[in-house]
Structure 1
């Protein structure tokens, strides 16, 4: 994730939650400890980010409550992405570095389909690297529509 712009020590994840940076689609879901948003990076339409509501840099720093919510939430979000996007697979991975420095942890929940795999001639981590290098961002209107559908499914 890139650096933020607000008063959060350059944390884009915090800036997005506080609306100090543009967030197409808005918050998709918020639990007591976690926030789900559409990814603002170039990982494709329907890619969600699941991040702690508080600034956390290491998984080892999660509270017992945050940890207890995490597995069921990742499952719930993955089910929603599967239903709405109908991918071949849903990747779930932890990202936390910004400019080579650990940052606000976030789990990326990414629909991976044959179209993207063929377009980038890659899959798995190589697909994410290729998509990042191509810097193809979904249109904000598309993100809004997908987020509305995801919110309906996540109810």
Structure 2
């Protein structure tokens, strides 16, 4: 927490800024629990890629509270199921990212739909696919993100 930020946030953290509205979030929040938020990825990992992150600023999985841990597994499963239902990929990757500028950053789990077309286009899979997508740097357009986020909200249900 910083002295100038809301409780349990960091004013310099992009993840915190996206969650608390200081930075534009294409598609808006997809799902919020008391402790976690699910949002569309703002990076170049394709339409339908979601990020699951704690609402408070956390740098290490080891620093999650018991409550955050209790919600995490079921929330990751629900998120992967929603992505599967809406995007219909051949696989859904779930991985932890937690570096910003080569230093630990706000942890966030990336839930990425992977289609055969993605693997064929980039000639890669797994971490190499994600690396290739970042190297290309193609960001999804806001309208496509908003549309898929609406469908994902429906898939999550009440």
Q: Shorter-chain TM-score: what band?
A: over 0.9
Matched, 1:37 2:44: no
| 2-structure distance, mates of 1:91, 1:10 | 28
| 2:21 aligned to which of 16, 19, 29 | 19
The 3-state SS of whatever aligns with 1:71 is helix
Equivalent in the alignment of 2:56: 54
Matched, 1:93 2:95: yes
Structure 1: 5+ residue stretches without partners:
1-5
Equivalent in the alignment of 1:105: 107
Equivalent in the alignment of 1:82: 84
Matched, 1:135 2:141: no
Stretches of 4+ moved more than 2 A in 1? 6-9
| 2-structure distance, mates of 1:10, 1:98 | 11
TM-score w.r.t. the length of structure 2 is 0.93
| 1-structure distance, mates of 2:155, 2:113 | 16
1:9 to partner: Cα distance: 3.8
TM-score w.r.t. the length of structure 1 is 0.95
Q: Deviations over 1:131-151 (max 9, x none)?
A: 000001111000000000000
Structure 2: 5+ residue stretches without partners:
none
| Count of residues in Structure 1 that have an aligned counterpart in Structure 2 | 150
1:32 to partner: Cα distance: 1.1
Q: Deviations over 1:17-70 (max 9, x none)?
A: 111111100000001110000000000000000000100000000000000000
